[in-house]
Structure 1
Amino acid sequence: MTVKPDFTTAANHASTAPAYFSVHDIHAYYGESYIVQGVSFNVHEGEILALLGRNGAGKTSTLRACARVSSPEVQRGEIWLDHQPLHTMSAHQAAAAGLGLVPEDRRIIQGLTVEENLKLAQIAPPIGWSLERVYDLFPKLKERRKQEGVTLSGGEQQMLAIGRALTRDIKVLLLDEPYEGLAPVIVDKIEEALIEIKKLGITTVLVEQNAVRALELADRAVILDTGGVVFDGTAKEVLENAQLRAEYLAI
């Protein structure tokens, strides 16, 4: 078994507990554009980490770099999950190792029902949650299981995207803007599900423009600015620091 190096966090917060998911000195580009500029952070097992920053700060690019997708191109850095070096893997290998990405556009497959979208994710091992377990978490999906996935409401599509990720045997869930366009009552439902997921020991990294909601849910926060980490600490510290929020989050 490959053993992860003992990285420390990039800014002013470091835990004495061993990290479960480590991102160390990641540099990534879109063509000539230098987007992710030496980002580092650690997440511990079962934590919810809010990855925050203004538009263009590099949040989505950092998530995509962690998921090993082809764009942006990662040119330097290391990503470790439970002693496994994701930086040496392709996107599908990282997914098989336990990394689940729910992108902002959700990627619901047109022409397939809710149930077919879920079953498709289970074609190749490792298999995670059963369909019934997903339906227990999101009862609305069971009601809509024979409906074409792309015809669901925005909130139901988000539930489907998260449920589809859970049908894989994931260890870390990467969520990109899960609250976007959703009514507050639907955001409540998504957060209730994320709390249940946390109770099961699944680690979550959450990118969200609704920073206050994300911080109220999260254990810790990392703030990015122009592609680099400017804060790494507890979510409570951000909520209590008006100057930090105003400077980097405009709230």
Structure 2
Amino acid sequence: MSVTEQQFDTRLNNAATTPAFLSVWQIEGYYGESYIVQNVSFNIHEGEILALLGRNGAGKTSTLRTIARLDSPELRHGEIWLDHKPLHEMKSYQAAGEGIALVPEDRRIIAGLTVEENLQLAQIAPPKGWSLERIYELFPRLGERRKQEGVTLSGGEQQMLAIARALARDIKVLLLDEPYEGLAPVIVQEIAKTLEIIRDQGITTVIVEQNAVAALKLADRAVILDTGTVVFDGSAKEVLEDEALRSKYLAI
């Protein structure tokens, strides 16, 4: 299954002006015998925001989980390279150590801990990322509520905390699963502005989102999945301008 690093760079980047930072090549993911992620390939450049879109059940979350190297789905074929390092050969904790951070749909704020304690817990294991001061500068609302129990925050504030907790580690790639779910439009806009700031810090982001229009307005590029396979890979602007494509694969 493995190829040399040089062969992989040639195979995936021969048409690119700059090398891909995160490269996903022909990954196949299974839940038991259910074939969920089917031969998915795409490239992301450093500091880019990629919208990973598709209808419910298209394989978006499973693709994120595969990149993060979680135990399920099981990766049975394909390769994932981050900055020339083979994530496909790693366990989840090793991928995390290389800078992969997944913010799941349910956010997983730890009950019984304050906002600040949730952030401090993320900083325990090296390498450490952003300081609390830097996080509170980006998320002033979290600074105001630092002594409040995390699970008592509003939905939007919990999403901010989940993102901030990822930044508390030294991350290179932020994987976001449905960050806008259940949030008011004004909070969606606030989080989008925050993600733009994070992009300016050089962090690469992959966003899975049912609010496809909001994700496309934020993203540089888009990949659309349909029944576990890639059916589109191009600019986010192209998807926004292609009504037939949106109608067929995104129902918008």
Q: TM-score normalized by structure 2?
A: 0.95
3-state SS of 2:102 partner: strand
Partner of 2:43: 42
| Superposition RMSD in Å | 1.2
Deviation at 1:152, TM superposition (A): 0.6
Structure 2 distance, partners of 1:76, 1:144, is 45
Deviation at 1:3, TM superposition (A): 4.0
Structure 2 distance, partners of 1:249, 1:221, is 12
Deviations 1:18-77 (A, max 9, x none): 100011111001111110001000000010000000000000000000000111111111
Partner of 1:32: 33
Structure 1 distance, partners of 2:44, 2:153, is 33
Partner of 2:150: 149
Deviation at 1:158, TM superposition (A): 0.2
The letter for the 1-side match of 2:42 is: F
The letter for the 1-side match of 2:68 is: A
3-state SS of 1:230 partner: strand
Partner of 1:105: 106
Structure 2 distance, partners of 1:138, 1:146, is 14
Partner of 2:194: 193
Structure 2 distance, partners of 1:112, 1:73, is 32
Partner of 1:159: 160
The gaps in structure 2 that reach 5 residues or longer are none
User: Larger helix proportion, structure 1 or 2?
Assistant: 2
The letter for the 2-side match of 1:186 is: I
The letter for the 1-side match of 2:16 is: S
The letter for the 2-side match of 1:109 is: I
Partner of 1:8: 12
Q: Percent identity?
A: 75
3-state SS of 1:109 partner: coil
Q: TM-score normalized by structure 1?
A: 0.96
Moved beyond 3 Å, runs of 4+? none
Structure 1 distance, partners of 2:135, 2:174, is 15
Deviations 1:201-232 (A, max 9, x none): 11000000000010011000000000000000
Alignment of 1:210-249 (within 5 A): 210-249=211-250
